[in-house]
Amino acid sequence: MAEEMVKIGVVAKQLGISIRTIHMYEREGLVLSYKNPAGTRYFTRRDVEWLLVIRAMIKSAISIAGIRRLLALIPCWERMRCAYVEKKECPAILDNELPCWANHANLCWNSGQECRDCPVYEMRFSISTMKSHLDIRMKPEFSEPSLAS
């Protein structure tokens, strides 16, 4: 059975954000939508879950550029049998500003592979727990200045 698709306007209303915000997330490489021939965007339940994760990360002070950078760290070359002989030739490694699905220089784009169905794209959920995996300690927002004697 095919997964239910929901129009972008319905998703925006569910999440309490504007359609333009979702368009911006897509433009920034954070999310991929399905588009019909007329260009109407549709999302799955899983996409809506991902949009909620994006919203939570933004509310926890991670910028859109920061989220995009975290997504770019997903090691697609380890998950996929890549045609690049050496990592130094791989656009996903050379351009660490974009996740592989937003990098149009990747060979996957030329092969016709659908990024939405790629296991690397599914790994996007792992970045929301990256802090705990890496045991990153956040600096206190405000620290007491030390008094020199």
In a domain, 149, yes or no: no
Q: Is 146 inside a domain boundary? A: no
What's the predicted TM-score (pTM) here?
A: 0.74
In-domain check, residue 91: yes
Return d(Cα 75, Cα 120) in angstroms, integer: 8
3-state secondary structure string, 101-120? HHCCCCHHHHHCCCHHHCHH
Domain presence at residue 80: yes
Domain that holds residue 98: 6-133
The domain that holds 111 is classified in CATH as 1.10.1660.10
Average pLDDT over residues 12-40: 95
Tens of pLDDT along 77-124?
A: 667 666 655 666 777 777 677 887 777 666 565 555 677 777 777 778
- Cα–Cα distance, 29 to 41 (Å, whole number): 15
- Determine, yes or no, domain membership for 139: no
Domain count, the chain: 1
Q: Phi/psi at 41 (nearest 5 deg)?
A: -90, 140
Instruction: Indicate the angle between helix axes 8-15 and 19-27, nearest 10 degrees.
Output: 110
